[in-house]
Chain A
Amino acid sequence: MSKPLAVVPSPPPRNWWLWGTTAILVIAMTWWSGVGIGFSLSELWCNLAGGHRLLRESWPPAFAFLPRLVRPFLETLQIAIIGTVIGGVLAVPVAVLAARNLTLGPMTWFVDRNFMNILRTLPDLFWAMLFATAVGFGPVAGALALSVFTIAVISKLFSESLESIDMAMPEAVRAAGGNWLHMVQFGALPQAISHYISYALYAFELNVRASMVLGLVGAGGIGMILETQRANFEYERVTVIILAVLVAVLIIEKLSETLRRRLA
């Protein structure tokens, strides 16, 4: 009897050069960043004592503070709603002009596309700081900031949906003598409306979360109370605010997720 023949497949060839350079680059970048920001585990360990004290101070949460949160909390939601509605409406033309198959011409496409990308680079709180400077502290600045932020979020996603629609309908509208607006209104938008609603809900989720912290830079909402309590080291109250924010965000996310799943 001969020995059973063992067939061992040869392992696939590895691209050591690619893996090596990637690994070295990642490690180098991490090292450089770690040193740059003063990352140190020993310091973290030593400071945990301070953290312990902080945790003791911030517990138990001062639930008596809760009633004073109701008004700012409503204001926060209002900011998020206004931002989502204004931004959501303005995002439609931006998205249509940035969709390669619908736009008016290469020049419009180029300008609008870049406008959209530049809007997207700035984070929500930057817009809040800018509008707080321009129109004064308060919820109006927050609502304007979230409007711009919403345009940035929705238009990018929606223009990608518009690019993947079936072009037969828009062409049919054109062939029947419709102008460009008719084509967009009757041929293109109805195909992507469910995507649009889903993106709008997603933007609303982001906006609720953002509107909670807008107050840190003076743009209204519950964040303003958070900022004053934090500045006074009232950590029991900070805990209450953060818990309230957490619960609200989770509830709204759950609602919006259910709605989105229904639509899909």
Chain B
Amino acid sequence: MNDRLLLKPQRQIGWASWTTFIVAGLFLVSVLALDLSAERLIRLPGQILEVMSFFYPADMAYGWSAVLPAIIESIQIAWVGTIIAALLSLPLALFGARTLFPRIARVVKLISATARAFPEILLAIYFVPIVGLGPFAGALAIGISSVGMLTKLGAEVVESIDMGPVEAVQAAGGSRLAALRYAVLPQVLPELVAHWLFRFELNIRASAVLGVVGAGGVGGVLLNTLRYQQFEKAAAVLVLTILVVLVIDMASGEIRRRIIRG
């Protein structure tokens, strides 16, 4: 009788292991660079739990009277920013499509990549002195920084369309504008709107933090409550923000699904 034959797949030491080594090395170097002594590391979880316990009874009276208006302001900032971005990005997305405007597309894409690289909050730092403290600066910052991403995604949508209808319109004697109106727009609009809605979801989060640099919204409220260690009030900010964002995410996600399905 011979033993049971055990077949094992060969182990490979390939690129995956090397990547793991490199990532682990970078991680260790970074952790050592932070002045994180072992003693402090051990205290950390307890510290976090202790601070968390301060948050417990959320001060909802403050929530309804002071936080909710700030959240509504954040939503308004996000909405206006998204509308600005949608209006600007629609023509840019068309011009950025390689298939329609091969020569301009390159320039448009470069501009949109640069706009995308700016975090909103850095733009807000510039807009606040220009238009003054307040939500208007926030809306402009959100709008400008969203244009970049919406243009890129929009151009990709336009590039992926069926060019048949475009050629058909032009073959029938239609101008380039007519082709855009009757052949391109109907094909891309549903997906563009879905991208706009998705960007609106992201912009709500972005506008929520703009208050940190004085550009309106709920971020300023959270910063102040934490700064003065009013943890119950900060808890109200968190609870309401989570609820409102969850509801808007669900609603917007549902609308997006319906639009894409047609």
Contact = CB atoms under 8 A, between A and B. Distances in A.
Partners in one complex: yes
B36 A122 contact: no
A125 interface: yes
B107 interface: no
Interface string B22-51: 011011011101101000100010011001
Contacts of B83: 30
Interface residues of A, number: 61
Interface string B194-211: 000000000001101100
Interface string B209-244: 100110010010011001001000000001001100
Contacts of B108: none
Interface residues of B, number: 63
Interface in B124-158: 125-126, 129-132, 134-136, 138-140
B119 interface: yes
A121 B241 contact: yes
Interface in A110-131: 117-118, 120-126, 129-131
A135 B52 CA distance: 11
Contact of B26 (A81, A120, A140, A212): A81
A125 B219 contact: yes
B246 A117 contact: yes
Contacts of A24: none
Contact of A50 (B129, B140, B238): B129
A217 B212 contact: yes
B84 to A, nearest CB: 9
Interface of A: 29-30, 32-34, 36-40, 43-44, 47-48, 50-51, 54, 74-75, 77-79, 81-82, 85, 117-118, 120-126, 129-135, 139-140, 143, 193, 197, 209-210, 212-213, 216-217, 226, 230, 238, 242, 245-246, 249-250, 253
22 contacts: A29-B79, A36-B73, A37-B73, A37-B138, A40-B136, A75-B33, A77-B30, A82-B34, A117-B246, A117-B249, A121-B241, A123-B206, A126-B208, A134-B47, A135-B47, A135-B48, A197-B19, A209-B119, A213-B121, A217-B212, A217-B223, A246-B114
Interface of B: 16, 19, 23-24, 26-27, 29-31, 33-34, 36, 40, 44, 47-48, 51-52, 72-73, 75-77, 79-80, 83, 113-114, 117-119, 121-122, 125-126, 129-132, 134-136, 138-140, 205-206, 208-209, 212-213, 216, 219, 222-223, 226, 229, 238, 241-242, 245-246, 249
